[in-house]
Amino acid sequence: MDLNRAINSTLIIARSEYKYVADVKTDFAELPLVTCHGGQVNQVVLNLVVNAAHAIADKNKASGTPEKGLITVTTRIEDGFAVISISDTGGGIPEAIRKRIFEPFFTTKEVGRGTGQGLSIAHSVIKAHGGKLDFVTELGKGTTFNVRLPLGDAEQRIRRSLIAANQVIREKPPPLPEPLAAARSHRRCGHHSNARRARNRRGCRRHRAATRAAVTAATSTPPPPPPAR
Ligand SMILES: Nc1ncnc2c1ncn2[C@@H]1O[C@H](COP(=O)(O)OP(=O)(O)OP(=O)(O)O)[C@@H](O)[C@H]1O
Ligand SMILES: [Mg+2]
């Protein structure tokens, strides 16, 4: 997945949540494509952006002097991870609740504004990808959440586990044994023009007979050796 592109789309979707309280600035590094569950990672970014907007809105409400805040979204590569950082100029996370924010259903928001599931789901999603989700916060100044998704070798490991879990398209099947492959390949049969071959995907009668013969040959047990005299 192209993370920078996905983030831009998510920011458009989240616009109605932040447009009155904050400006958004992005600073993207060039990133390789990252193997991940696109929908889930978009959901994580969306929750972090909405949280950032809420933090700025809450700070404004508390201070009574509404001032447009800033949400900064950056990407970079660090220690074999693609890192997405989402910073806000909100009020920061009070010491007393820092340990609890990833707990399921922990929220400081009123009913209807938050269910407290965002960060807990985000944490599990990023962990399942072999990544990390952490934050740095300063009271009165704001908070930065960092999403780290593995690249390279680690990425290969995740790809294999996702394939095993059948969440992404399967790998190519292993090649057929040589006689079967030859017989199954209608392209090699040379009995028809390309157009006709394309229409007749099962192959011509001669080709099907050849396939059947090859299947029988490949699957039947070989005859016993002649008895020794
Ligand atoms: N950027 C932030 N600044 C300050 N506090 C935050 C920030 N992000 C999260 N929090 C705190 O962590 C709590 C949990 O966040 P989480 O995203 O899990 O739930 P929520 O936003 O309350 O509800 P939901 O995401 O389910 O709509 C929030 O209620 C808030 O108190
Ligand atoms: Mg949330």
CATH number at residue 39: 3.30.565.10
Closest residue by Cα to atom 21, ligand 1, is 114
Secondary structure class of 25 (helix, strand, coil):
strand
Residue nearest to atom 27 of ligand 1 (CA): 114
Query: For residues 62-71, b (16+ Cβ closer than 10 Å) or e, as one string?
Result: eeeeeeebeb
Residue 149 lies in a domain: yes
Q: Is residue 193 part of a domain?
A: yes
Hey, whose CA ends up nearest to atom 12 of ligand 1?
101
Identify the nearest ligand to the CA of 120 by its number. 1
Nearest alpha-carbon partner for 47 in 84, 83, 91, 78:
84
**104 and 139 share one domain:** yes
Kindly state whether residues 8 and 66 are assigned to the same domain: yes
Is 78 within a domain?
A: yes
Residue type, 201: R
Query: Which atom of ligand 1 is nearest to 107's Cα?
Result: 29
Q: Do 137 and 193 sit in the same domain of this protein?
A: no
| Exposure of 40 in the CB half-sphere (CA atoms within 13 A) | 18
State the pLDDT at residue 216. Answer: 72
Q: Which domain holds residue 212?
A: 178-219
Same domain, 74 and 146: yes
- pLDDT score at 220: 66
- Whether residues 194 and 141 share a domain: the answer is no
List residues near ligand 1 (CB under 6 A): 47, 51-52, 55, 88, 90, 93, 101, 106-109, 114-120, 143
Q: Whose CA is nearest to atom 9 of ligand 1?
A: 51
Per-residue tens of pLDDT for the chain, all 229 residues: 999 999 999 999 999 999 999 999 999 999 999 999 999 999 999 999 999 999 999 999 888 878 899 999 999 999 999 999 999 999 999 999 999 999 999 999 998 888 999 999 999 999 999 999 999 999 999 999 999 999 976 556 666 666 666 655 555 556 666 655 555 555 555 555 555 554 555 556 766 776 677 667 666 666 667 776 6
Distance 217 CA to ligand 2 centre (A): 62
Tell me, yes or no, whether 156 and 184 share the same domain: no
The sign one gets for the Cα dihedral 198, 201, 205, 209 is positive
Q: Which helix (H) or strand (E) holds 124?
A: helix 118-128
What atom of ligand 1 comes closest to residue 50's alpha carbon?
A: 21
Give 203's contacts (C-beta < 8 A, 6+ positions apart): 186, 189, 211
Residue 199's CB: how many other CB atoms inside 10 A?
A: 8
Determine the distance separating the centroid of ligand 2 and the alpha carbon of 113, expressed in angstroms: 9
Radius of gyration of the chain (CA): 28
Q: How many domains does the chain have?
A: 2
Let me know whether 101 and 123 are in one domain.
Answer: yes
101, 186: one domain: no
In a domain, 227, yes or no: no
Tell whether 224 is covered by a domain: no
Nearest CA-CA partner of 89 in 118, 112, 66: 66
Q: Say yes or no: 185 and 149 in one domain.
A: no
Structure confidence at residue 89 (pLDDT): 98
Q: Which ligand is nearest to the CA of 71?
A: 1
The preferred substitution site among 18, 21, 51 for testing ligand 1, maximizing ligand atoms within 8 Å of CB, is 51
What pLDDT sits at residue 198?
47
- 28 and 71 inside one domain: yes
Domain membership flag for residue 172:
no
Is 99 contained in some domain?
yes
Ligand 1 centroid to residue 148 C-alpha, Å: 19
